[in-house]
Amino acid sequence: MTTRTAIGRTEVAGMSTLRTAVLFAATLTTGLSAGLFYSYACSVMPGLARLDDRGFVEAMQRINVAILNGWFMLSFLGSLVLILAAGALHLRGADRGVLLWIGVAAVCYIAVLAITAVVNVPLNDRLAAATSPEAARAAFETTWVRWNTVRALTSTAALASLAWALHRAP
């Protein structure tokens, strides 16, 4: 074997390791986001639903402030960055099925971000400015819960797609 061949194999192995690592990180961060939305759907919102209007609004206002932190943003926004990076790294030399599943995950996760930006964040902002807890809750709860459930399902679909891509990846 020539030195050039050995270097080429080392570069290919290094690229394969990088592709796998980035795909794994995308899967992990997407799983964290899917788990967050799932937790809201299964426990947080049903628990808060048992509060009176004032308690519900105050709790959601506090949650909406607390969630805006670096750890949340790292997984929430980092997921899309890592999904796109995984796709870019798999453009050449990888099984096209892997690339397809990464693409499905990207579409699903972009939908999660769009729903958050178009529905959930504006509802959170209106809730933050609310002066009447009764009116604020009535305008907030049903729509926010419905669209959070869609985010939970969509982010879980993204997670499943990434897990399948990771399983198929060489």
The Cα 34–Cα 105 span in angstroms is 12
Residue 69 has a CB neighbour count (10 Å cut-off) of 9
3-state secondary structure 81-128: HHHHHHHHHCCCCCCHHHHHHHHHHHHHHHHHHHHHHHHHHHHHHHHH
Look at residue 68 and tell me whether its pLDDT is greater than 70.
yes
Tens digits of per-residue pLDDT, 151-160? Answer: 999 999 999 9
Say yes or no to pLDDT of 163 above 90. yes
Report residue 7's pLDDT band, with 50, 70 and 90 as the boundaries: very low
How confident is the model over 6-30, as a mean pLDDT? 80
How confident is the model over 110-143, as pLDDT tens digits?
999 999 999 999 999 999 999 999 999 999 999 9
Distance of CA 149 to the CA centre of its chain: 13
Which of helix, strand or coil describes residue 63?
Answer: helix
> Does residue 4 register a pLDDT over 80?
no
pLDDT of residue 92: 78
Q: Which two tokens stand for residue 11?
A: 């570069």
pLDDT for 94 equals: 63
What percentage of the chain exceeds 70 in pLDDT?
91
Provide DSSP, 27-60: HHHHHHHHHHHHHIIIIIHHHHTTS-HHHHHHHH
Inter-CA distances, 64 with 83, 117, 120, Å: 26, 14, 10
- How many structural domains does the chain have? 1
* 124 vs 120: CA distance, rounded Å: 6
Angle CA 105–116–65, to nearest 5? 125
Question: What is the span of the domain harbouring residue 70?
Answer: 3-168
Question: To the nearest whole percent, how much of the chain has pLDDT over 90?
Answer: 84
pTM for the whole structure: 0.89
Residue 12: the pLDDT is: 59
User: What is the residue-averaged pLDDT of the chain?
Assistant: 92
